[in-house]
Amino acid sequence: MNTPNWNRIVIKVGSALIAPNRDGCSSQYLLSIANFIVRCRMSGIQVVLVSSGSVAAGAHLFEQVNDSSITIKKAMASAGQQEMMATWDRLFDFSTAQVLLTHADLRNRDRYISVRDTLDTLLENDILPVVNENDTVTTDKLKVGDNDNLSAMVATATQADALIICSDIDGLYTANPHLDKSARLISDVIEINSDIYAMAGGATSDVGTGGMKTKIQAAEKATSHGIQTFIVDGFNEQSFNQLLEGNNPGTLFHPHPDPMLEPMHWLRHTTLAQGELVVADEFSIDEDLTSDVLTSNDIIDVNGDFSAGDVVMLRKQNGEKVAKVTTNYSSCLLSFVATQDDEQINRTLDDTIDPILSEKYIAKME
């Protein structure tokens, strides 16, 4: 038996584990998870807990109400968040800290760094961060949408060694094991490709919002930054015993051998493109994309409404995505430039101090 060589981990716990019957929080499945966290900390492993469950925890307080309404779900999250935190607090004899995030906190570089610094400071002071999406205030434009992907973003921000995603089955199967008796567990995934995604079905729980697809998306984000990622059965206490013994109780997604640098990973996997810059199909870039690769003459069309400093997608006319980039100019100005044939106008823009693309954040798409 080998103790895992982790300094810092992120563990994601879903709604079905926290409020399995949607009648408030239950410690039924949380005791073994809490024990795992305690044992990790006793071994010197820092832990960040990403916990869903606020909506499910607050649902029982809103009887005879259509809980498909976004407004009702926000109210449920507001009421349930306190109960969820109180439940975790009762299971630990050390301090915890609530960290509520929206996607806007992560896709803005300054706020992302602020979140990272806060989490680091909490961990350095032996405080357990409990992270959740801020469902009470988030909107479609601001939300991550599921805590699987949020946990991968948090794992990247905190430079974790491992991400552990608790599921209602013990990993990725070749087919849905609830429907196909011949489905077999895949213990190791070296590369996440279209075949792996094809094996992902929908959510098997009627409590949570994520399914196997979002877990694979999270694994792709984490492993591309060099973080080993596990999908394990969170309902089975033996899953956590196996992890602490250095064994793989579910599916292990192996980290990429050549991890992306953190700023490029943030741009590629955390930000959302606010628009597009369309170039000709013949447009080509070198392996090392630089800020001066794009000139005003290259821009054929501009899609979306964005401001200077926003992240946009650089795309060819045939639909091929070239790179995620940050732009030094707004969509209004670039749309004007794209429709001009006046060489003097284009030359004036290209000769300005700032190139069209910001040199700080450019991530080539694979």
Is 2 domain-assigned?
no
Q: What is the DSSP letter of 255?
A: P
Asked which of 142-151, 233-242, 301-310 is least confident by mean pLDDT, the reply is 142-151
Percent of all residues in the chain with a pLDDT value above 70, rounded to a whole number: 83
Specify whether the CB–CB gap between 147 and 50 falls below 8 A.
yes
Q: Does the pLDDT of residue 4 top 50, yes or no?
A: yes
For 313, residues 6+ apart whose C-beta sits below 8 A from its C-beta are: 273, 275, 276, 277, 321, 322, 323, 324, 325
Which residue segment(s) compose the domain that 285 sits in? 273-364
The last residue of a domain, from among 211, 240, 265: 265
Q: Which two tokens stand for residue 28?
A: 């039924």
Predicted local confidence at residue 227, as pLDDT = 96
Predicted local confidence at residue 328, as pLDDT = 87
Specify whether the CB–CB gap between 361 and 325 falls below 8 A.
yes
What are the tens digits of pLDDT across the range 322-347?
A: 888 888 889 998 888 787 665 655 56
pLDDT higher for 228 or 77? Answer: 228
Predicted local confidence at residue 205, as pLDDT = 44
Q: Which two tokens stand for residue 192?
A: 């996440």
The arithmetic mean of pLDDT across residues 198-204, rounded, is 65
Q: Which two tokens stand for residue 132?
A: 């959740």
Q: What is the DSSP letter of 175?
A: S
Q: Does the pLDDT of residue 195 top 70, yes or no?
A: yes
* CATH number, domain with residue 91: 3.40.1160.10
Predicted local confidence at residue 344, as pLDDT = 59
| Matching residue, tokens 């590369």 | 191
Predicted local confidence at residue 255, as pLDDT = 95
Exposed/middle/buried for residue 293 (C-beta within 10 Å: 0-12, 13-18, 19+): buried
Average confidence score pLDDT of the chain = 85
Query: Are residues 315 and 181 both part of a single domain?
Result: no
CA angle 228, 4, 233 (to 5 degrees): 65
* CATH number, domain with residue 316: 2.30.130.10
Give the HSE-up count for residue 39: Cα atoms under 13 Å, Cβ half-sphere: 14
Predicted local confidence at residue 66, as pLDDT = 63
Measure the CA–CA gap between 57 and 78, rounded to whole angstroms: 10
Measure the CA–CA gap between 82 and 71, rounded to whole angstroms: 18
pLDDT tier, 1 (very low <50, low <70, confident <90, very high otherwise) = very low
Is 184 domain-assigned?
yes
What are the tens digits of pLDDT across the range 114-167?
A: 999 999 999 999 999 999 988 777 665 556 668 899 999 999 999 999 999 999
Query: Are residues 222 and 347 both part of a single domain?
Result: no
Measure the CA–CA gap between 22 and 113, rounded to whole angstroms: 35
Give the HSE-up count for residue 281: Cα atoms under 13 Å, Cβ half-sphere: 3
Query: Are residues 177 and 228 both part of a single domain?
Result: yes
Is 1 domain-assigned?
no
What are the tens digits of pLDDT across the range 13-42?
A: 998 899 888 778 888 999 999 999 999 999
What are the tens digits of pLDDT across the range 80-98?
A: 899 999 999 999 999 999 9
Q: Does the pLDDT of residue 311 top 50, yes or no?
A: yes
Q: Is the dihedral of CA 137, 143, 146, 150 positive or negative?
A: negative
pLDDT tier, 230 (very low <50, low <70, confident <90, very high otherwise) = very high
Q: What is the DSSP letter of 172?
A: -
Query: Are residues 301 and 257 both part of a single domain?
Result: no
Q: Does the pLDDT of residue 286 top 80, yes or no?
A: no
Query: Are residues 353 and 316 both part of a single domain?
Result: yes
The last residue of a domain, from among 249, 265, 281: 265
Query: Are residues 154 and 123 both part of a single domain?
Result: yes
Q: How many domains does the chain have?
A: 2
Total-model pTM: 0.85
Q: What is the DSSP letter of 268?
A: I
The arithmetic mean of pLDDT across residues 167-190, rounded, is 89
Q: Residue 232: beta bridge partners?
A: 166
Query: Are residues 116 and 188 both part of a single domain?
Result: yes
Q: Does the pLDDT of residue 252 top 90, yes or no?
A: yes
